[in-house]
């Protein structure tokens, strides 16, 4: 495993923000295992009260936490504040979801006793968080897992440890033991060791398909571990017949370029009816040209900040050039706004003529456009991916939306709404390379506890009525 210190840098300035020592996986997991039985034995009402106190702690530190998110990810302050609001809102949603998804039930039968259904926590859960929503997304695993009675080892992205530290401090100040929610600082080596550790009962992951597949492969012979994978997407947004060109363009831009395209639900591919191509793309480009790209605290506030680091910016630049050299036609060029910092302009490229388009998640402000002649062709193109996270139809009739909904392969399917901005009050997850059929958000309770069926009587009562010799 790694030695030395982990350093976090501000994407918008390049200055050092935070540094800390790599954690010891064995020690942290052992501590969690010792703490778990006492936490699991707490009444459910106590655990719920403590996560509510956590929400209050986040409210107290809302501006500090939002500022840290903005500095560490580069996202505008207004967007960071919405992330903090999501952290707070997740608590009551998770409490409702646990009551609904894991309710206790009893059915009495005088002759057969009682049939009961209850749920048990798994034990010690590893939560591996992403950098794009460093508080909200891991929190979406942590809170439901705590309510269910699990202990948590939280390993944040090595790019956003400072935000994770503040989040964990809020849990501790709320009265949740520092052994029940622990922070593991580290890089890929620590993450791999945590996933494989015998003391871990479940792995809750949000991040890239590449890492998710590696986790799945590592645990292929470990059916004893619950694994929930929320991975990325190569998400389509289909624009069909609509007179509302301005509104359609705004939804496309919002879907593609919010958070500098660094959302798993961001629209990567715009599929547009040929007859609408010219007016729609003219409006999308006009609106994209108006986007302010800037640092988190700039005035006026930017629509989008930088991508996470120069490595990500370089990769997106190379991807744009690849598409351009293989038949793509630039509608709006990807421009590196600062040579030394990862600020990118939103980019749009027509890839209708590109053969063998790479089926990868280009995690940034790069939108690929394809023409389609009819809705069946558009749906086929939307499904031309190994991913299956989110999809949207803009325009069309109710009948066409029904066809779209029935035939598009995705876990989130919207009509006249963006591909991103999924609600925590609904299940969230995808198929294919986007997930392993364990949706999070409102359904997170499903993978945080397992059902136990029982038949019970106060006293033993039984007889064998057939197949016995006479006494």
Active site residues: 230, 264
Query: How far out from the chain centre does Cα 124 lie?
Result: 21
Measuring CA to CA, which residue among 268, 283, 199, 244 is closest to residue 416? 244
Alpha-helix runs per DSSP H in 19-76: 25-41, 44-60, 62-73
The alpha helices in 102-187, defined as continuous H runs, are 136-148, 161-173
How far does Cα 307 stand from its chain's mean position? 17
Residues 6+ apart with CB under 8 A from 462: none
Residues sharing a CB contact under 8 Å with residue 258, sequence separation 6 or more, in sequence order: 79, 266, 303, 304, 418, 420, 421
Contact 368, 281 (CB under 8 A): no
Nearest residue to 52 via CA among 90, 85, 101: 90
* DSSP per position, 86-135: HHHHHHHHHHHHHHHHS--EEEEETTTEEEEEEEEE-SEEEEE--SSSTT
- Give the CB-side neighbour count of residue 370, counting CA atoms within 13 A: 26
HSE of 342 in the Cβ direction (CA atoms, 13 Å)? 26
Spatial distance between the Cα atoms of 460 and 462, rounded to a whole number of angstroms: 7
Q: Pull the structure tokens for residue 263.
A: 């959302």
- Given its phi and psi angles, is residue 434 left (phi above 0), alpha (psi -120 to 50 degrees) or beta? alpha
Q: How many angstroms separate the Cα of 60 from the Cα of each of 76, 88, 99, 173?
A: 21, 11, 27, 11
d(C-alpha 406, C-alpha 56), whole Å = 42
- Residue 128 has what DSSP assignment? E
Is the CB of residue 164 less than 8 Å from the CB of residue 18? no
**How far does CA 277 lie from the centroid of its chain?**
32
8 Å CB contact between 163 and 18: no
Question: What sign for the dihedral angle of Cα 268, 272, 274, 276?
Answer: negative
For 175, residues 6+ apart whose C-beta sits below 8 A from its C-beta are 50, 53
């Amino acid at each position: 495993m790694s030695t030395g210190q982990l350093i976090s840098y501000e994407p918008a300035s390049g200055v050092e923000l935070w540094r800390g020592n790599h954690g010891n996986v064995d020690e942290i997991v052992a501590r969690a295992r010792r703490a778990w039985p006492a936490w699991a034995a707490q009444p459910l009402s106590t655990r719920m009260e403590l996560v509510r106190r956590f929400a209050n702690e986040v409210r107290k530190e809302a501006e500090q936490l939002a500022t840290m998110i903005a500095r560490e990810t580069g996202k505008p302050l207004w967007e960071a504040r919405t992330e903090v609001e999501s952290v707070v809102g997740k608590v009551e949603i998770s409490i409702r979801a646990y009551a609904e998804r894991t309710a206790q039930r009893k059915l009495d039968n005088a002759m057969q006793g009682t049939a009961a259904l209850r749920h048990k926590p798994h034990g010690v859960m590893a939560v591996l968080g992403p950098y794009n929503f460093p508080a909200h997304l891991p929190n979406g695993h942590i809170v439901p897992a705590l309510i269910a009675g699990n202990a948590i080892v939280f390993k944040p992205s090595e790019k956003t440890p400072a935000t994770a530290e503040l989040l964990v401090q809020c849990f501790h100040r709320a009265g949740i033991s520092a052994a029940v929610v622990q922070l593991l600082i580290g890089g890929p080596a620590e993450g791999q060791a945590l996933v494989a550790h015998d003391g871990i009962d479940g792995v809750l992951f949000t991040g890239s398909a590449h890492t998710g597949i590696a986790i799945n492969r590592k645990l292929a012979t470990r059916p004893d571990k619950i694994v929930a994978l929320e991975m990325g997407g190569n998400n389509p947004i289909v624009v069909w017949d609509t007179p509302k060109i301005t509104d359609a363009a705004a939804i496309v831009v919002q879907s593609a370029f919010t958070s500098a395209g660094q959302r798993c639900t961001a629209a990567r591919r715009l599929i547009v009816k040929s007859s609408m191509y010219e007016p729609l793309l003219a409006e999308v480009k006009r609106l994209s040209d108006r986007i302010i790209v800037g640092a988190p605290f700039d005035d006026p506030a930017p629509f989008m900040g930088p991508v996470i680091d120069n490595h990500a910016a370089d990769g997106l630049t190379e991807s744009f050039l690849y598409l351009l050299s293989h038949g793509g036609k630039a509608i709006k060029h990807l421009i590196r706004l600062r040579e030394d910092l990862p600020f990118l302009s939103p980019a749009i490229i027509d890839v209708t003529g590109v053969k063998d388009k790479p089926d990868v998640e280009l995690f940034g402000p790069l939108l690929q456009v394809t023409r389609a002649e009819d809705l069946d062709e558009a749906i086929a193109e939307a499904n031309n991916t190994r991913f299956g996270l989110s999809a949207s139809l803009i325009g069309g009739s109710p009948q066409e939306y029904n066809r779209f909904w029935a035939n598009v392969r995705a876990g989130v399917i919207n009509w006249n709404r963006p591909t991103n901005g999924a609600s925590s009050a609904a299940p969230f997850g995808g198929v294919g390379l986007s997930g392993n059929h364990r949706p999070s958000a409102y359904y997170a309770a499903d993978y945080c506890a397992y059902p136990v069926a029982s038949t019970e009587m106060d006293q033993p009562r039984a007889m064998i009525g057939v197949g016995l010799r006479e006494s």
